[in-house]
Structure 1
Amino acid sequence: MPEKTVNKNVLLILVMVTSFFTPFIGAAVNLALPGIAGEFDLNAVAMSWIAMSYLLSSAMFLVPLGKLADIMGRKRIVLWGNLVLAVSSALGVFAPSAEVLIAFRVGQGLGSAMVFSTGMALITEVFPQRERGRAIGYSVTAVYTGLALSPVIGGVLISWAGWRSLFVVPAIIGVLAAIATHAAIPGEWAEARGEKFDLKGTLLYIPSMCLFMYGFAHLPAPAAFALTSVGLAGLVLFVRTELGTTSPVFEVRLFATNRLFALANFAALINYATTFAVTFVLSLYLQYIQGMSPREAGMVLIAQPLVMAVVASRSGKWSDRIDPRLLASAGMAVSAVGLLMLTLLRDDTPTAFLLVTLGVLGMGFGLFSSPNTNSIMGSVEKRHLGLASGTVGTMRLTGQMLSMGLATLVLHLFIGDSPVHAGNHGAFIRAADTIFIVFAALSGLGVWASWSRGRRPSRDA
């Protein structure tokens, strides 16, 4: 579609709004879990499904929906995605049981995947290369702002109107976003129109991805090892199947023929795998070791996403003029430094040191994410933009699950199934040190992957 027929700023605002609420929907509900568990009399496993169902649903559907958007039209998918999100959220307000609520959370995940898998592709389609990094930076900033503000907004809503109010907001926003998409964005983008949708590959990918991510997130339980192994075997079979398919749902060949695309996605996977669980570990540390209240711990931890949001908006703009490889590699290196700083944690570590360290981590993540996403989206043909956008989201969610799985596994090795108490503070500190050392080492691998991708193509993809 000709660039002049689309109001780029309106499209960017719509993508930013949905980018803000996608992580908000996932994160804010964590604050409501005690209230939900009390109302529906849930145990810990059932309670985890309230949170996990949304993430699993999003991760399972991102890649297939990205490909479907390339075929059917990205505007159509994002419009229907907002409607699915709105309807699922509205029904969640009236959920009579935990089972029904989990079903609506799956619907929220599906709607979010439809929106997220197309948002970055639309930005890449509409904005020329000289402006694309800035636009991507704003979109990434919206994601981190949603993460940063979800505890604040979610806490206020829960205190004011109960946990069901968390489902009212995305219902309203979803309807408004769908109306604005239909009214303000003319035309359609479907460069792969006419291609056959790979249903066989999709039906193999979805359950395999679900089993792998759910299993890894619940290690080291014996059943989790089995689920992870079955899921991994299914994903291997999926790759082999896609290599022999004329029109695959996931163009696996891109990882073999497009070095920039492959290594930038690998770097993104490592980046999320080494940073996501930091907040989880530090929240335990601040509350159990330093004796802070949840509110006090949240006020400390908010430093990281706030710095991320500020830096990500600038680094996206810088990547329009500077090779994104340089910015992303520097960002990963800064994150590694921040992770090494966290290995100095002890029982009486000053809060000021933690704030500085979280600022360093936020700076590294913000410096990496926008330029790296710009590289990925600019490395593929337009007919693969939806697929690339879905892949970016999949790397994010998979990395987050891997991060939590690694952290949980290490904590289990050091303190077992016991809760954190005065008698095992030392073991917890040693576990945290080990987690941060492993994450820092993996970040070194990420620096290599980010730097080895090669320079950005000069063409305007």
Structure 2
Amino acid sequence: MSAIGPAKACGAPVRWVIASLSLSMLLSSLGTSSANVALPALADVLDVSFQAVQWVVLAYLLAITTLIVSVGRLGDIVGRRRLLVAGIALFTAASTLCGLTPGFALLVAARAVQGAGAAIMMALTMAFVGEAVAKERTGSAMGLLGTMSAIGTALGPSLGGALLAGPGWRAIFLVNVPLGLVALVLAHRYLPADRNLEGRERPGFDVAGTLLLALSLGAYALAMTMGRGSFGTLNVALLSVAAVGLALFLLVEARVTSPLIRPVMLRDPALSRGLSTNALVSTVMMATLVVGPFYLSRGLGLDAAMVGLVLSVGPVISAFGGVVAGRIVDRLGAGSVVTVGLAAMVAGCAALVLLPGIFGVAGYVAAIALLTPGYQLFQAANNTAVMADVSADRRGVVSGLLNLSRNLGLVTGASVMGAVFAAAVAASDMVGAAPAAVAWGMQLTFAVAGLLTVAALAIAIAGRALRGVRAQRAVTPGPGGER
């Protein structure tokens, strides 16, 4: 097969297929980050409390977290092209409703629907790479999708701020509409057609498992996001619901004919390693977003403009480094690059503990410039490794699991890393905390982050060693000279 890949055989130039997938990834990440900047304005305009207006963000994130595995599996059953086109249309229609809504309750409901569309887009873009790109170019495609996700995350706050200062808060949602229409046209015209299932029995959809998984994930996400890191009775109750729901989910999956997630999948060493390291790394990266702003403003005394400028360094590096990381994966192999990326992240966490205290802002920027490329290498390589040998009928659900592990890591990181930082600072009011206390909190938080990254690196190295042993056994002749 040529480097053009499978999409060429389907009559669609691969560049247009990749453009469609990239725009879908951009829109879903833009929807996550752009609304945050509008929360104060929404609280004033819609006359709601700060606690209530948080649901504009939470509704979107909860919809993605609870649905992303289910919609990935649904794409495997009904056809990924058909479902992705429907997801883009749903996202675009919900964006229109968000921008035109007259009240707060309808806005939150529309954001949940928008999140459902984003879940479809996120789950199926990576699943489509196996159909659209030759295997030897998979790393480059995964790196490009990572780049688009980083661009959406970086662009969201600045674009949202500009629109808020100009046309107003409604434009933050309405700007997605023309982009969504372009993505819809590209997807409808260029994505590879779904396989013809005529004459074959279509797998069933696991409704019971879907509902139990959604309940468990929703309860866990709420437990991690409510209370801002301080766990109370409600948080414990939600975690209990999540645990019971997960136990029931696993029980159901072991008994139904067409499970949402086959339990044997989770016993696959390559998949379990990929998901666990992805969750650990996402937890670590969330620390930069949770702790970074406080350290730069309170620990180093930077004004708001400088804080924003320094915080943009990481996303800018991600935006430019994703494609390069993907090409390195194609050249060196996913397994090796996962290890290199995690080692660079360990060094980046160590640098965040040591360098800012010595060199100030320059030390912080240097450490981020080491941590972020490591993350890009890991992400491109890990996504490539996990998706490499997945059968065509399970790509959607595995892609959903990858995105889920990342989202759960981010949600957990926001809570756990925030709690570590707050405990280390030991101040009742973070605004009035002493610079030295904030600096100590930052150092301790990234020391913990470094340990989590070391754990991820150990998992990756153990996995490579195990694969090497199995490969050696496969080629070693037996006692009679047979292999």
| Matched residue, 2:256 | 245
Give yes or no for the alignment of 1:81 onto 2:87: yes
The verdict on how the C-alpha distance between 1:356 and 1:88 changes in structure 2, with shifts beyond 3 A counting, is: same
- 1:395-433 residue CA offsets vs partner (Å, 9 max, x unmatched): 111110011011222244345683323444443333222
- 1:105-141 residue CA offsets vs partner (Å, 9 max, x unmatched): 1111100011111111111122121111111111111
SS of residue in 2 equivalent to 1:406: helix
Give yes or no for the alignment of 1:199 onto 2:207: yes
2:41 to 30, 35, 58: 35
Give yes or no for the alignment of 1:171 onto 2:181: no
| Matched residue, 2:275 | 265
- 8 Å CA contact 2:7–2:13 kept in 1: the answer is no
1:397 to 383, 390, 407: 407
1:52-91 alignment, distance < 5 Å: 52-91=58-97
| Matched residue, 1:313 | 323
Give yes or no for the alignment of 1:280 onto 2:285: no
Q: 421-430 or 5-14: which moved more?
A: 421-430
Equivalent position amino acid for 1:327 in 2: V
The verdict on how the C-alpha distance between 1:33 and 1:339 changes in structure 2, with shifts beyond 3 A counting, is: same
Give yes or no for the alignment of 1:106 onto 2:112: yes
Aligned equivalents of 2:366 and 2:343: distance in 1?
A: 16
- 8 Å CA contact 2:7–2:133 kept in 1: the answer is no
Equivalent position amino acid for 2:114 in 1: Q
- 8 Å CA contact 1:260–1:379 kept in 2: the answer is no
| Matched residue, 2:239 | 228
1:181 to 184, 187, 197: 187
Structure 2, gaps ≥5 residues long: 1-5, 472-483
Aligned equivalents of 2:45 and 2:195: distance in 1?
A: 45
1:242-391 alignment, distance < 5 Å: 242-256=253-267, 258-344=268-354, 350-391=360-401
Equivalent position amino acid for 1:367 in 2: L
1:46 to 35, 44, 52: 52
Q: CA deviation at 1:95?
A: 2.1
Aligned equivalents of 2:201 and 2:186: distance in 1?
A: 24
- 1:80-112 residue CA offsets vs partner (Å, 9 max, x unmatched): 101110111101112222222111111111000
| Matched residue, 2:219 | 211
Q: CA deviation at 1:348?
A: 8.2
Give the TM-score normalised by the residue count of structure 1. Answer: 0.93
The verdict on how the C-alpha distance between 1:84 and 1:21 changes in structure 2, with shifts beyond 3 A counting, is: same
Aligned equivalents of 1:190 and 1:400: distance in 2?
A: 38
Give yes or no for the alignment of 1:441 onto 2:451: yes
Count of aligned pairs? 457
Equivalent position amino acid for 1:25 in 2: G
| Matched residue, 1:12 | 18
Q: CA deviation at 1:189?
A: 4.2
SS of residue in 2 equivalent to 1:291: coil
- 8 Å CA contact 1:274–1:443 kept in 2: the answer is yes
SS of residue in 1 equivalent to 2:152: helix
1:97 to 76, 94, 103: 103
Equivalent position amino acid for 1:269 in 2: A
Equivalent position amino acid for 1:277 in 2: A
The verdict on how the C-alpha distance between 1:299 and 1:193 changes in structure 2, with shifts beyond 3 A counting, is: farther
Q: Percent identity?
A: 24
Q: CA deviation at 1:319?
A: 1.7
- 8 Å CA contact 1:308–1:363 kept in 2: the answer is yes
- 8 Å CA contact 1:310–1:366 kept in 2: the answer is no
SS of residue in 2 equivalent to 1:247: coil
Equivalent position amino acid for 1:68 in 2: L
1:408 to 405, 418, 422: 418
Equivalent position amino acid for 2:254 in 1: L
- 8 Å CA contact 1:307–1:366 kept in 2: the answer is no
The verdict on how the C-alpha distance between 1:210 and 1:7 changes in structure 2, with shifts beyond 3 A counting, is: same
Aligned equivalents of 1:397 and 1:411: distance in 2?
A: 21
- 1:209-228 residue CA offsets vs partner (Å, 9 max, x unmatched): 00011102233231212212
Aligned equivalents of 2:381 and 2:356: distance in 1?
A: 35
Aligned equivalents of 2:301 and 2:48: distance in 1?
A: 27
Aligned equivalents of 1:367 and 1:185: distance in 2?
A: 27
| Matched residue, 1:22 | 28
Aligned equivalents of 1:46 and 1:417: distance in 2?
A: 26
| Matched residue, 1:137 | 143
Equivalent position amino acid for 2:326 in 1: G
SS of residue in 2 equivalent to 1:161: coil
Aligned equivalents of 1:293 and 1:303: distance in 2?
A: 16
Q: 397-406 or 304-313: which moved more?
A: 304-313
Give the TM-score normalised by the residue count of structure 2. Answer: 0.89
- 8 Å CA contact 2:132–2:192 kept in 1: the answer is no
Q: CA deviation at 1:2?
A: 7.4
The verdict on how the C-alpha distance between 1:423 and 1:295 changes in structure 2, with shifts beyond 3 A counting, is: closer
| Matched residue, 1:427 | 437
| Matched residue, 2:474 | none
1:120 to 115, 126, 147: 126
Equivalent position amino acid for 2:99 in 1: V
The verdict on how the C-alpha distance between 1:242 and 1:351 changes in structure 2, with shifts beyond 3 A counting, is: same
- 8 Å CA contact 2:76–2:395 kept in 1: the answer is yes
The verdict on how the C-alpha distance between 1:193 and 1:158 changes in structure 2, with shifts beyond 3 A counting, is: farther
Aligned equivalents of 1:445 and 1:410: distance in 2?
A: 18
Structure 1, gaps ≥5 residues long: none
Aligned equivalents of 2:77 and 2:344: distance in 1?
A: 39
Larger Rg: 2
SS of residue in 2 equivalent to 1:321: helix
